[in-house]
Structure formats: structure tokens, C-alpha cells
Chain A
Amino acid sequence: MKVYLTRRYLFSASHRLHNPALSEAANREIYGKCNHPHGHGHNYFLEVTLSGPIAPETGMLCDLGVLDSAVHREILDRFDHQNLNRLEDFSMQVPTTENLAMRVGKILSQLPLPAHLESVRIEETANNSIEYAGGQPPRR
């Protein structure tokens, strides 16, 4: 019996969407108010979905404490209350939610998680979110 377990986390960060390869005018045209020069911030909700069989002796997919520790150590400590543009992660990329979700997915995929990493989903605001399943279509 395969279950999908999702855990939700919160982090807050600032960013500015700006591509230095483009003109100032093109950046304003593409990114609108997200291109305002001094940046702005969001409360990001991160959902991490793991999948696999239920262990009969525990009734659980995995030890949630192990997942929480990994996410806190590798994601929240890294991104929470930071300016995303100033981080090494985004030295070559615009810190859109798309790139952020892919970055988080790639970091988590390299960790020894307690079950299979199915997907990550990031809500930048209550109105928009990005889901990344390592290049596969996410299970719905």
C-alpha cells in the first residue's frame, strides 16, 4: 500500500526578480513590480511530499522527525530570513518560485531522506504555487 505524505513548512525571504543580461527596460517589462530595485519579500510555504509503503509495525511511512530535521537544517536554515539574490544558490539564476522550487528539490534529492522524495511544492503567495517532481508529472 503506497501512501504519499506531505509536510508543510514556512520560511520568509526577500528577493528581486532581475536578469542582468537584459536591459533595465526589459526587466521592468518582464518582471513588473517584482523588479523594483530594493527587493521585496514573501512568506513561502514549502510542501515536501514523500512516498512509499506503510511499515506494518509502526503504521507509518517514515519517521517525520528525520524529515523535519533534514528540512530545517538544509532548507529553512539556508533560506529563512535571507535575501535570496545574495545567496550562492541564486548567483547565476533569477530567484523566481520556479527556480526556488527546483533548487529546493535538488538539495533534498541529494539528502538521505527517510522515504522516497516525490515532489516539492512552494507557495509564494496564497495565489500562486509551483510544484516540482524532479522532472516528472506530479501525482494528483
Chain B
Amino acid sequence: MIYLTRKAEFSASHYYHNPEWTPEENLRVFGKCSNLNGHGHNYTLEVTVAGQVDDNTGFVIDLKLLKDILNRQVLDDFDHRNLNREVPEFASRVPTTENLAVAIWQRLHSQLHPARLHRVRLYEQPDLFVDYYGE
């Protein structure tokens, strides 16, 4: 089994807000992330796929194809967007790094045949990242 990781970057804004809570409760739980005017990050996404090396091409997956899939499934919708308002998954879910990693997994995992998605790693900042393995 070979594991291949491709990195991509996107920049987006968001805020954390649970509409079932009072403003005070949102502020207490989410701190400065609860500012409804939003704030932004430069996210770094690392997508790791696993599979067998194809005898003819020597590839586990065609990198150009993987790049196109990442662009189509994730970056075209997330990059330079307001995640709360413009990405459907976050109409009813808080766009935390945890939920973003899961949403990215769900957008990618059926697209990578014959390789399979092994891990989504999403950095919100250089000192904070989330890994999701589809478990």
C-alpha cells in the first residue's frame, strides 16, 4: 500500500454561532470566534490517498486528476468564501476546523477510485490542525 499526500491552500472567513444559544452563551463558548462579523484564515489542506501502484503508470493516482478533484469538490466552493453563508454544509453546522475536515472528507471520499481516501488533515493555523480518517 502506498500513501500519497497532496497539499492545497484556501482562504476563507467564518464565525462560530449556535442559534439555539443566547449571545452570552455563544460568547462564553466560542470567545472571539463568535463575532458575527466573521474573521478569516489561510487554511492548508493535506489530502492523503492510499492504494496500489498501477503497473502501467507507476501512479497510485494521477496527480493532475487529484488536483482537479480537489479544486472541483473543495477549493472552488471554499476559497475566498464566507463558509457560514456560502457553503451549504454550514447552513446548519458550525464551521469549525473539525466540521470542515469531515465535510471535506464527505466531498472527496467517493471521487478517488481506484485509490481510496485515507486521511484529511486541515490546518487552520500552523499551530492547530485536525485529522479525520472517516471513522
Chain B residues near A87 (CB, 8 Å)? none
Q: Does A65 contact B (CB under 8 A)?
A: yes
Q: Does A20 contact B (CB under 8 A)?
A: no
Which stretch from B37-45, B61-69, B108-116, B123-131 is at the chain A interface?
B123-131
How many A residues have CB within 8 A of the partner chain? 21
Q: From residue 1 to 19 of chain A, which have CB atoms closer than 8 A to chain B? A: 1-9
Interface size grouping (class) on chain B: 20 to 34
Residue of chain A at shortest CB distance from B3: A140
Q: Does A58 contact B (CB under 8 A)?
A: yes
Given known A-B contacts A1-B132, A3-B132, A59-B16, A54 and B127 have beta carbons under 8 A apart: no
Closest-CB distance, A1 to chain B (whole angstroms): 6
Residue of chain A at shortest CB distance from B90: A59
In the complex the two chains form, is A6's CB within 8 Å of B133's CB?
no
Q: Does A102 contact B (CB under 8 A)?
A: no
Q: How far is the CA of A140 from the CA of B3 in the complex (A)?
A: 10
In the complex the two chains form, is B127's CB within 8 Å of A4's CB?
no
Chain B residues near A65 (CB, 8 Å)? 31
In the complex the two chains form, is A58's CB within 8 Å of B127's CB?
no
In the complex the two chains form, is B128's CB within 8 Å of A4's CB?
no
In the complex the two chains form, is B131's CB within 8 Å of A60's CB?
no
Chain B residues near A73 (CB, 8 Å)? none
Chain B residues near A64 (CB, 8 Å)? 128
Closest-CB distance, A30 to chain B (whole angstroms): 34
Q: How far is the CA of A61 from the CA of B124 in the complex (A)?
A: 14
Residue of chain B at shortest CB distance from A118: B131
Q: Does B75 contact A (CB under 8 A)?
A: no
In the complex the two chains form, is B96's CB within 8 Å of A59's CB?
yes
Closest-CB distance, B119 to chain A (whole angstroms): 8
Q: From residue 90 to 116 of chain B, which have CB atoms closer than 8 A to chain A? A: 93-99, 101-102
Residues of A within 8 A of B (CB): 1-9, 49, 54, 57-61, 63-65, 139-140
16 contacts between A and B (CB under 8 A): A1-B132, A3-B132, A4-B131, A4-B133, A5-B98, A5-B128, A5-B131, A6-B129, A7-B127, A8-B127, A8-B128, A54-B96, A58-B16, A59-B96, A61-B130, A63-B29
- Which 9 pairs across A and B sit closest by C-beta, in order of nearness? A59-B94, A59-B96, A8-B127, A4-B131, A2-B135, A59-B99, A54-B98, A3-B98, A5-B130
